[in-house]
Structure 1
Amino acid sequence: MTVYHFVGIKGAGMSALAQIMYDKGYQIQGSDVEKYFFTQKALEDKGIKILPFSAENIHEGLTIIAGNAFPDTHEEIERAIQMDLPVIRYHKFLGQLIEDYTSIAVTGSHGKTSTTGLLSHVLESLSPTSYLIGDGTGRGSKEDGYFALEACEYQRHFLAYKPTYAIMTNIDWDHPDYFKSVDDVFNAFETLGKQVKKAVFALGDDLQLRRLELEVPIIYFGFGAENEFQAKNVIKQTTGTIFDVYHQGEFIDTFEIPTYGDHNVLNALSVIALCVYENLSVKEVKNELLSFAGVKRRFSITEKKYQILVDDYAHHPSEIRATVNAARQKYPDRQVVAVFQPHTFTRTQAFLQGFADSLNMADEVYLCDIFGSAREKAGNLSILDLAQLTKGHHVIKENHTEELLPYHDAVILFMGAGDVQKFQAAYEKILDHTEIRTEADQRAIN
């Protein structure tokens, strides 16, 4: 039997794909750096071998799945090419794999992971489903059925997919190191849409997505009355969100989700629209939406001592706004403190004022040094350039997170796509050794 060797197996997509192939009965191994990543736990739980990078890992009988972060000059990929072994890039292998399924590619500048997670959760309760989520979660079904996958637009990698359906959550300018403008991003999404076989479900409230011209039907969803699927009568509560769904003006049902913010209503609406289109039970869809526990690093809550700590992947001004608004909905009476680590110098430079404006929606802002990419040069930009534009001008270090201690009964939002989790972990250690004092105690001390 072929053994699949994943170069960069700890990557979010690679980890998920390795799990899918393992579940389908294939022999799987992989390699990566020896630093711990949260994605490796699921691999270890399945007993998938993870090796340190080495050309010695490559031998006859392997098919190499190469992570997109690694060039052909990587020692393992180079050895595989020299040995004339099959070497397939992650996105191309995934594109081949989904051909045997009713596939749904979930894409968009924001909301891909949360929507793919929600869609996967609903579908797997109704039919055999394989899924690949960008938080490192993957599951493979040995039966033919649905395949829900997160489809990333970066470097147009998602053009390797020819899915049955696509869900497009929005179009925004991101990845400024690759995309030159929002029109460039639009071009990539429209090209994907032209490869979809049955229908595209697109946010009709998004002006860019309204520009799509495709051969297949475009099913628009959103809050606006002009959408085929419309969410109305939204009720925001501290326990979640309730809303009515109408299809072509006719009431379908009232749905409830245990998540917060308009973006999560729209994510759920896209899933509902696809399920109605596929003639799946609305009653069962309704039940499954209510039981969705969320995906990793998307508003993940830890209650510790006198604070609420939230880990979130938000790394674009639009995503930060959504996360702050979600915190305001769930915790209306608490102070919101943003701790943000910008991801890449190019994105920070391109959206400097946008980051400041969205972060300043919080009550206080703390910044971590920019998490750079190997693909770019730092230039003259530093975190101080953003700090000058944000409340308090605070810059925080991993070994000095105690500055967050005075915010009693606050929500601390740790946001970013780099390694901002290490700042939260360092702070949690401090909190664990902090004595809880009441306000009366504090006054007595002062």
Structure 2
Amino acid sequence: MKDLETIKSVYFVGAGGIGMSALIRYFLSKGKVVAGYDRTPSELTERLITEGAQIHYEEDINLIPDSCKDKATTLVVYTPAVPQEHAELVYFRENGFEIHKRSQVLGIITRSSKGLCVAGTHGKTTTSTMAAHLLHQSHVECTAFLGGISKNYGTNLLLSSTSPYTVIEADEFDRSFHWLSPWLSVVTATDPDHLDIYGTEEAYLESFRHYTTLIQPSGALIIRKGISLQPDVQPGVKVYTYSKDEGDFHAENIRIGNGEIFIDFIAPDTRINDIQLGVPVSINIENGVAAMALAHLSGATDEEIKRGMASFHGVDRRFDFKLKTDKIVFLSDYAHHPAEIAQSVKSIRELYQDKKITAIFQPHLYTRTRDFYKDFADSLSLLDEVILTEIYPAREQPIPGVTSELIYNNLRPGIEKCICKKEDVLNLLSQKSIEVLIVLGAGDLDNYVPSITRLLEQHYLKS
């Protein structure tokens, strides 16, 4: 990649992705001209525009700013979610610009720091954001490139001019995490996903095995106990296990009640008693153990870890409560893999055992629906009521015969269920009796969450 000093402008093809936006903020912080394209406006792209990025929404080379048309001083960054025949990408390619994937650029930027990387099919956004908060509020500090918006800081990028550590969400999609050079890494889960890329579960696991070979000597791997992964680390790399209740790092004396969770954190060389979880859902016990392990091995003190866990406010769209009253509970969760959905539903059920739980689920990708529709149905069948919307295609073209009906037809007998278009969700909800409602998925249904919140407030909270 060009030397950062010679780069004057950076152009992003696919600027609205959460991983891309962290790089946009990074280059803005370095005083670079930043511009780019995304398919649709979003709250995130509008925020980036107010922060100084020039973003447009039409696939048109005439909208590329002149400041980004000098190949000697412009770096082009793209996401694999954008098709290779995208007109702007073709323009840059044909005119000899230096073009890199987002993951390559992230790997280059972070190579000179000690990377604290969190990989896994699910749990990585919450765990990495939690670890970043623990370190950022400690004397250790950190830089962080996150896959979600931290509620503590309102951003997915944290910067430190003094800390040697960079917290990185290590994404397995398109083998992106192979560009990283971890010093410490957590692996949270290896449930098969992205089979449109990998083809088989064996290839997916092989990708994670290769990732573990990238951990630097003198570093460490913190692997969740019981997952299907045989790590292959370099000499000098320590391997630790963790889980909710067993392993080198784990929790003991778990106390759940009155909307609060307290645990004792157990590490090989310390015990921290009476830690309160700032976001008190049971899945965050295990996420918290992994995050605390990273912070502990990076030098945060026991007291700093305890204070940081209590003050962690969570991540947008990760078990994200919008309404939480005796009359109505509404939350949004990014869960889009069957295992994630099952964990999310179990955590909700634990909190609201006696209430009817309704979910609106927007399947993400035709290939994922095709590969896992029976697993989705099993996970969603843990609910009392399921509202399915059409599949969110993201980067994909439709696959004949692959629709939300595959999931619908495999839901357990007797469950309340329906399929509706996302634009009809508000009207449907207005006719239903809701106690606990959760929006699930990684697509654009989240854009409707503010409207759903207002509808539920008017219906249940206005006297």
On whether the aligned pair clears a TM of 0.5, the verdict is yes
Distance in 2, matches of 1:145 and 1:436, equals: 48
| Aligned counterpart, 1:443 | none
Matching residue within 307, 319, 336 for 1:287: 307
| Aligned counterpart, 1:192 | 211
Distance 1:7 1:247, change over 3 A: same
**Could you state the TM-score of these two structures normalised by the residue count of structure 1?**
0.90
| Aligned counterpart, 1:350 | 371
Is 2:178 the counterpart of 1:173?
A: no
Distance in 2, matches of 1:436 and 1:115, equals: 34
Residue correspondence of structure 1 range 400-419 to structure 2 within 5 A: 400-405=425-430, 408=433, 410-419=435-444
Matching residue within 20, 34, 39 for 2:26: 20
| Aligned counterpart, 2:9 | 3
Contact 1:365 1:393 in 2 (8 A): yes
Is 2:323 the counterpart of 1:318?
A: no
Distance in 2, matches of 1:223 and 1:233, equals: 11
Contact 1:199 1:219 in 2 (8 A): no
Contact 1:237 1:329 in 2 (8 A): no
Residue correspondence of structure 1 range 55-204 to structure 2 within 5 A: 55-56=61-62, 57=64, 58-60=68-70, 61-126=73-138, 127-135=140-148, 137-197=156-216, 198-204=218-224
- State the shift of 1:406 in Å: 5.7
Write the letter of the residue equivalent to 2:129: G
| Aligned counterpart, 2:274 | 254
- State the shift of 1:193 in Å: 0.8
- State the shift of 1:159 in Å: 0.3
| Aligned counterpart, 1:334 | 355
Distance 1:332 1:260, change over 3 A: farther
Residue correspondence of structure 1 range 167-246 to structure 2 within 5 A: 167-197=186-216, 198-209=218-229, 211-215=230-234, 216-225=237-246, 227-246=247-266
Distance in 2, matches of 1:346 and 1:280, equals: 42
Is 2:395 the counterpart of 1:374?
A: yes
Distance 1:171 1:103, change over 3 A: same
SS in 2 for 1:346: helix
Is 2:406 the counterpart of 1:393?
A: no
Contact 2:242 2:289 in 1 (8 A): yes
Distance in 2, matches of 1:273 and 1:423, equals: 37
Distance in 2, matches of 1:435 and 1:272, equals: 39
Unmatched segments (≥5 aa) in structure 1: 439-446
What is the number of equivalent residue pairs in this alignment?
435
Distance in 2, matches of 1:283 and 1:172, equals: 34
SS in 2 for 1:293: coil
| Aligned counterpart, 2:445 | 420
Distance in 1, matches of 2:280 and 2:75, equals: 43
Matching residue within 290, 298, 304 for 1:270: 290
SS in 1 for 2:182: coil
- State the shift of 1:377 in Å: 3.3
Distance in 2, matches of 1:434 and 1:278, equals: 48
Distance in 1, matches of 2:86 and 2:378, equals: 40
Distance in 2, matches of 1:250 and 1:194, equals: 28
Post-superposition Cα deviations, 1:229-269, rounded to whole Å, max 9, x if no partner, equal 12122222343321112223863433221224443111111
Instruction: Name the % identity.
Output: 24
Distance 1:192 1:430, change over 3 A: same
Which consecutive segments of 4 or more residues in structure 1 shift more than 6 A?
A: 435-438
Distance in 2, matches of 1:386 and 1:83, equals: 45
Which deviates the most, 249-258 or 352-361? 249-258
- State the shift of 1:300 in Å: 1.4
Contact 2:142 2:159 in 1 (8 A): yes
Distance 1:436 1:94, change over 3 A: closer
Post-superposition Cα deviations, 1:125-158, rounded to whole Å, max 9, x if no partner, equal 1234211111252233344522111111012111
Distance in 1, matches of 2:135 and 2:416, equals: 46
**Could you state the TM-score of these two structures normalised by the residue count of structure 2?**
0.86
- State the shift of 1:51 in Å: 3.2
Contact 1:16 1:132 in 2 (8 A): yes
Contact 2:13 2:38 in 1 (8 A): no
Write the letter of the residue equivalent to 2:401: N
Distance 1:214 1:262, change over 3 A: farther
Unmatched segments (≥5 aa) in structure 2: 1-5, 150-155
| Aligned counterpart, 1:363 | 384
SS in 2 for 1:399: helix
| Aligned counterpart, 1:444 | none
SS in 2 for 1:178: helix
- State the shift of 1:429 in Å: 5.3
Contact 1:120 1:148 in 2 (8 A): yes
Is 2:61 the counterpart of 1:36?
A: no
Write the letter of the residue equivalent to 1:123: L
- State the shift of 1:110 in Å: 0.6
Which deviates the most, 81-90 or 118-127? 81-90
